[in-house]
Every structure is written in structure tokens, then in C-alpha cells.
């Protein structure tokens, strides 16, 4: 099983900055989803920024969510910042 989402920050350019349960960091671009079905509502930047981690994935108030495996496998992995 792939790591799950531990925390998320939604950005102005429709990306999710993710921290996974294994402490890896990744950035997932949601912009390709914005023309499809229930994800159209995410075009509203205020609403998009309501993203939160729920049961290991990312979800929004009107029940949109993204498969946690997709988030992990398709995110651009980032180097972890050293503790300051």
C-alpha cells in the first residue's frame, strides 16, 4: 500500500502541496481535473483552498476527493527541507 496524505496545502495555481505518512513531500497538479464533472467546482479558488486531509486522501466539502494512490504516484516529489 502506498503512503497516505498526512497534510495538504492548496495553492492559487490549483496545486496541492502534500506531506505523506512516510514524510515524503509532493506536489499534485489538479488543473487537468477542472473540466470534469464534480471537479468543475474546484475552479473557484476559494473553494479549492478548502481542501483538507480526510482518511489518508484529500477531500473538499461537497465530497470531491482524489484517490490517495493517484496523489502519491502522480505527485512531483520534493526534497525534504532540513530542520532549522
Domain limits of the chain?
A: 5-78
Which cell goes with 64?
470531491
Q: What is the pLDDT of residue 23?
A: 96
Task: Give residue 84's pLDDT band: very low, low, confident or very high (50, 70, 90).
Answer: very low
- Range 5-78 classified under CATH 3.40.228.10: no
Q: What is the pLDDT of residue 83?
A: 53
What is the tens place of the pLDDT at every residue in 12-64? 999 999 999 999 999 999 999 999 999 999 999 999 999 999 999 999 999 99
DSSP 2-46: ---EEEEEE-TTSEEEEEETTS-EEEEE-GGGTTSGGGGGGGSHH
Which cell goes with 26?
509532493
Amino acid at each position: 500500500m502506498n503512503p497516505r496524505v498526512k497534510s495538504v496545502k492548496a495553492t492559487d495555481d490549483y496545486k496541492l502541496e502534500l506531506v505523506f505518512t512516510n514524510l515524503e513531500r509532493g506536489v499534485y497538479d489538479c488543473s487537468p481535473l477542472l473540466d470534469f464533472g464534480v471537479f468543475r467546482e474546484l475552479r473557484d479558488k476559494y473553494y479549492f483552498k478548502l481542501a483538507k486531509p480526510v482518511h489518508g486522501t484529500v477531500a473538499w466539502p461537497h465530497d470531491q476527493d482524489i484517490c490517495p494512490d493517484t496523489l502519491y504516484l502522480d505527485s512531483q516529489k520534493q526534497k525534504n527541507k532540513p530542520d532549522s
